[in-house]
Structure 1
Amino acid sequence: MSHLFSKLSTLRPPPASSPLIIGLTTTTAAAIVAFFALRPPAIPLPSVIPSPRELLGDLTDKEKDYLPYPPDVLLDGRWVDTPYGVIRVYEFGPTKGKKVVFVHGISTPCPVARDLLWDLVGRGCRVLTLDLYGRGYSDTPLTPHDHRLFSSQIIFALSSSALHWTSFTLIGYSLGGGISVSFTSHFSHMIDELILLAPCGILKKSHLSPLLRMVHSGWIPNVLATLLVRRRLNAKHAQSHSRRVASDPMDRAVVLDVPSILEWQSREHRGFLYSYFSSSKYGPIYDRQEEWAVAGEYLRETGKRILILLAKNDTDIDPGLLPEMLELLRGGEGGGKEPERVVGIVTDGAHDFVRMKGRMLAGHIEEFWKDSKSMDWVY
């Protein structure tokens, strides 16, 4: 055995110039080149999931009218191509009217506020609203749906207008309220007044159920979390009956059938569940107290006013949060020298009061404007 080891110890690798090494090197290199040259091309992952906009080309005008969400349910809609996909924007009302931007919530696209928006137009306002990414007729970008994405989307919508939207009243509902506060904290110079309807933003993540906390912390895979979201939404849809939306955008005699819109959206928008889950995970919903304080400070410094409207029967946004909201936006419990610049009202209704009580909300907003002497022209 010792003789064998002594023989092995005398072995030396062949020189690099030997035919064996040259042959092995050449063969290996050729194999690597062949692998990359002959392998099938990689299929790139999509960066955007298109909205049901792509289905409209196959429908007649009459068939479009009978969709739960007709693309002309609000007037003067347009398609806006953005770096994150195509979005749907509506802009209507007197061109010289008071400019108002409305941002909807986490699930229902902008027609949820049809009655509120038409009442504001009837009071002389120029209204701009949009479907957030992944809702209604706006595409879903496969990127975190956070405050940066939504603030960018608002800028894209404003820049698509023929008018100059350099300043306006910003109205945000539910998730849209959290988005509006975040937008204000960065673009306060553009805000004339901030109006928050049952806003997200300062909910406590610590109050979530253990399952939802696991979802937000990333312990539950996104695929499973998305299935849980689908199950929850389907349960809500099962409690309602689908009805047709009035085809005339001006006809408000028929209550907007939001449950039917949600069911259509879940079925036809392949990116909706991704957007819903991503928004609930990354959006400005929880623990944004510091951002609220910054937005309030910026608006107070420029003499701007803020209105908060909460619903007394809301089980999603507890009206008991109003004192904390006022304190954050007023800059402390005392509210500085002019606490009346931040007004809070708890009114009738539940979380769906934007859909069910749009005219009532428009009345509160008008009174707020009258008190601030910015609406002397109201008729």
Structure 2
Amino acid sequence: MSYVLGAIGVALPLLAALPGIGEIRRRKLDDTRRAEAPGKFARLSQGETHYMLMGPERGPLVVCIHGLTASSAVFHALARHLAAQGKRVLVYDLYGRGLSDRPRALQTPAFLTRQLHELLAALNLQGPMTLLGYSLGATVAVQFAAEMPERVSRLVLLAPAGIESELSPIVEWTARHPLSGDWLFHVVFPKAHRQNVIESSDARSEVPDIDRQHVAELERRGYVRSVLSSLRGCLLEPQEAAHRRVAELGIPLLAIWGGQDRMVPAGSMAQLSVWNPVAEQKLIEDAWHGLPHTHAGEVAALISKDERARKLA
């Protein structure tokens, strides 16, 4: 019995230390790594934000906001298509993803909206602009538009999260339970994310190394913590009030969904129609959740077509 108790006494501290050990083994962002990166950096109130600007300087502004586990790399192909249409395109990394800093703060839509507001101010980009939010990024885009409608000419939402709960029971449990949930998420998420990247790999991607970039996020210190923070801050409750506010303000909204998406199912189209009856919605039947990079050309064409139709209306 004493042997068993002793083994348990050794094992429990080791188990408790697993998340911390994993985090220490990950690489910390430094100036050397950032110096080798494409794009530029802006120092904001919560740290450095990595961004890229593409397209003609005088083109209409499109700001792209990526999702929960990705970085702005998911937009590289789509940004090229939009820039070829004559648009000025800003892509950037949310805090905790890509090459942006990892502040220890709850990542609510308001917190991430502040990052965007400060970045636009730092770059002296005024608008009006098209806000393009993908997955989690849709919660930021809708919040920004609801708060500052005078700066937003149109919303484009790709596979938008925040409409109906898409969280699995175990993910929701980890998000709702501090401490024990933190431990479980840090232990389970890295392996689950790698497996998800493998299973969702799509040869149609117009960003050739996107799978490698997705997995590389797991090697950066602060990434797992930031993903959990965004889950807690942005995805536990539907974003009904902000969507209804956008509808009341009359801000044009185009939502594009993937017909094969299992992460943010296209069934949420019906709920969005209830909140915003005049929202324009399109379905790309053969697209999965990665539609910004697997169907970048088609998404860009739908955005352009919607823009022309609104000008003629």
TM-score, normalized by the shorter chain, greater than 0.5 = yes
Identity %: 22
Query: Is 1:52 the equivalent of 2:29?
Result: yes
Report how far residue 221 of structure 1 moved.
3.6
**Structure 2 partner of 1:262:** 214
**Structure 2 partner of 1:199:** 160
Change over 3 Å in CA distance of 1:280–1:124 after alignment to 2: same
Q: CA RMSD in A?
A: 2.6
**Structure 2 partner of 1:218:** 177
Q: Which amino acid in the other structure matches residue 166 of structure 1?
A: G
**Structure 1 partner of 2:306:** 368
Report how far residue 128 of structure 1 moved.
1.0
**Structure 1 partner of 2:233:** 282
Report how far residue 53 of structure 1 moved.
4.3
* Distance in structure 2 (CA, Å) of the matches to 1:128 and 1:374: 26
Cα deviation 1:149-186 (Å, max 9, x = unaligned): 11011012111214x42310100000011111111111
Change over 3 Å in CA distance of 1:285–1:158 after alignment to 2: farther
* Distance in structure 2 (CA, Å) of the matches to 1:274 and 1:283: 14
Query: Is 1:273 the equivalent of 2:210?
Result: no
* Distance in structure 2 (CA, Å) of the matches to 1:208 and 1:112: 21
Other structure's SS at 2:144 match: helix
Query: Is 1:128 the equivalent of 2:90?
Result: yes
Report how far residue 216 of structure 1 moved.
2.3
Report how far residue 231 of structure 1 moved.
2.4
Report how far residue 237 of structure 1 moved.
4.6
- Larger helix proportion of the pair: 2
Query: Is 1:230 the equivalent of 2:168?
Result: no
**Residues 200, 286 of structure 1: 8 Å contact kept:** no
Report how far residue 229 of structure 1 moved.
1.5
Query: Is 1:358 the equivalent of 2:296?
Result: yes
Other structure's SS at 2:131 match: strand
**Structure 1 partner of 2:99:** 137
Gap regions ≥5 residues in structure 2: 1-25
**Residues 79, 88 of structure 1: 8 Å contact kept:** yes
**Residues 101, 169 of structure 1: 8 Å contact kept:** yes
Query: Is 1:315 the equivalent of 2:257?
Result: no
Report how far residue 94 of structure 1 moved.
0.9
* Distance in structure 2 (CA, Å) of the matches to 1:353 and 1:137: 23
Structure-to-structure mapping, 1:22-171, within 5 angstroms: 52-56=29-33, 64=36, 71-72=37-38, 77-162=39-124, 164-171=125-132
**Residues 172, 199 of structure 1: 8 Å contact kept:** yes
TM-score (norm 1): 0.70
Structure-to-structure mapping, 1:307-346, within 5 angstroms: 307-330=254-277, 339=278, 342-346=279-283
Report how far residue 110 of structure 1 moved.
0.7
* Distance in structure 2 (CA, Å) of the matches to 1:138 and 1:174: 19
Report how far residue 309 of structure 1 moved.
0.5
* Distance in structure 2 (CA, Å) of the matches to 1:365 and 1:114: 16
**Residues 100, 127 of structure 1: 8 Å contact kept:** yes
Change over 3 Å in CA distance of 1:239–1:199 after alignment to 2: closer
Q: Which amino acid in the other structure matches residue 366 of structure 1?
A: S
**Structure 1 partner of 2:135:** 174
Report how far residue 374 of structure 1 moved.
7.7
Gap regions ≥5 residues in structure 1: 1-48, 65-70, 242-252, 331-338
**Residues 175, 228 of structure 2: 8 Å contact kept:** no
* Distance in structure 1 (CA, Å) of the matches to 2:142 and 2:290: 20
**Residues 200, 285 of structure 1: 8 Å contact kept:** no
Change over 3 Å in CA distance of 1:222–1:305 after alignment to 2: same
Report how far residue 83 of structure 1 moved.
1.6
